[in-house]
Amino acid sequence: MVNYYTLDDVETEDRLVLMRSDLNTPVDKDGNLIERVRLEEATVSLRDLSDARTVIISHQGRVGRPDFIELEKHASILSQLLNRNVKYVPDIIGPQALNDIKNLKKGEILLLDNLRILSEENLELPMEEAAKTLFVKKLYPLFDLFVLDAFPTAHRSHPSIVGFPFYIPAIAGRLIIRELKGLTRITRFEKGPYTTVLGGTKVGDRIEAMTALIKNGKADKVLTTGRLGLLFLSAAGRLSIPLSDEESKYLAAARYLLDEYPSVIEMPHDLAYMGPNGQRKEADVKSVPKDSMVLDIGEKTIRRYSRIIKSSGTVFISGPPSAFEIKGFELGTEELLLSVAKSSATSIVSGGHLSTAMQRLKIANWIDHVSTAGGALIQYLSGKPLPLFEALEYSASRIEKNAYPEKVILRQQEI
């Protein structure tokens, strides 16, 4: 029995295909997309679906945050990349979306709006519960096939990931296969000591990640940066800058990890913050003014972390160490990425923001594996199951048993 089927296995001509991509992209203060990496990744599967009628679904940002925007700009960029029209509809399960889906012609592509507009899509649910959501029940009867190509969201048990395979056959898209091939190759050559560099703003995800990596022997050292670094400094009583209410929820977990793994977790010695005129200022952690906007690690910490990276056997970095998009605060992100690239360690870099930073530095070819995935890649490396792959395996089993209402046409055979 195979674990999952792919685009190579299934006939798609004139089929109505629903494709779950991850087009989630960093945006600037004006809501413009900063980079195109995930959009470029999506085009590989879309080109292979040129003979189908394809509907793309994706999320963008998180509710309440500046990056929570509609997907009209994504459709425009996809059109440029594919050199063919990708129609955007500002709807998901309403009359306009359903009508446009039904009227799709062979070779046409439709992009529905930001999935997280739907409250159901923000829930983590078991497959059978996800299949009962109004979102899934409204859309699934329209489609012949479901393509899962959202590796960065593979760790989320959202309805758009696990709900549709309950009703219609699901296969893996090109990004999924590329990621698995790359990771399989990397794991053959990884070696200790293992160093993990964690940054960015998603503190809850990072706590979960470092716990899994440490417990599974994949992190001999964890270098904390970004908001995660501030959380651990606060938990250790070394920093007086207030955390957000959301970050404060994880203080107890940070204290527990410091108590359990004191030799593993490294914290910044100095920090960079924005001065009165917007310039970069640095100070030791205990000397940073309480009302400061901390945006980077300091130069002492950069040098110390770089030494640890260079003595590592395998380095995994996820989330930018600094707010590199703000002029003057690129240093931490750029210097640590360069240290990873120049080291002799097996190197893995993950997350859309770091992909953007590497493009600027032109060092992507120096890294052994680059992925736009963050939490999904962490979960994969730590050995935890991913809901997306569980959904693909479930669907493969049903395809083999001819358990779907409609026959699935496999290339050179019929089931």
Q: What is the pLDDT of residues 146-205, one digit of tens each?
A: 999 999 999 999 999 999 999 999 999 999 999 988 888 877 777 899 999 999 888 988
User: What pLDDT is attached to residue 407?
Assistant: 67
Q: What is the mean pLDDT of residues 114-130?
A: 96
Which residues lie closer than 8 Å to 326 by C-beta, 6 or more apart? 274, 295
| Prediction pTM value | 0.84
Query: Nearest Cα to 205, choosing from 187, 226, 178, 188?
Result: 226
Chain mean position to CA 174: 16
Contact 200, 206 (CB under 8 A): yes
Report, as an integer, the average pLDDT of 335-357.
89
415 has pLDDT over 70 = no
Type of residue found at 302: I
According to CATH, where is 3.40.50.1260 located in the chain?
16-178+385-414, 190-381
| pLDDT confidence band for 1 (50 / 70 / 90) | very low
Which residues have C-beta within 8 Å of that of residue 175, sequence separation ≥ 6? 41, 42, 44, 45, 149, 150, 151
Share of the chain above pLDDT 90, in %: 73
- Under the banding of pLDDT at 50, 70 and 90, the label for residue 371 is confident
Two tokens, residue 57: 């679904």
Q: For tokens 């070394």, name the residue.
A: 238
**What are 225-259's pLDDT values in tens digits?**
999 999 999 999 999 888 999 999 999 999 999 99
Assigned CATH topology for domain 16-178+385-414: Rossmann fold (3.40.50)
- pLDDT average, residue stretch 352-359: 80
Whose CA is closest to 376, among 386, 366, 391? Answer: 386
* Beta strands 16-20; 145-148: pairing state: parallel
Angle at 223 between CA 219 and CA 229, to 5 degrees: 130
CATH superfamily of 190-381: Phosphoglycerate kinase, N-terminal domain (3.40.50.1260)
Indicate whether 412 pLDDT > 80: no
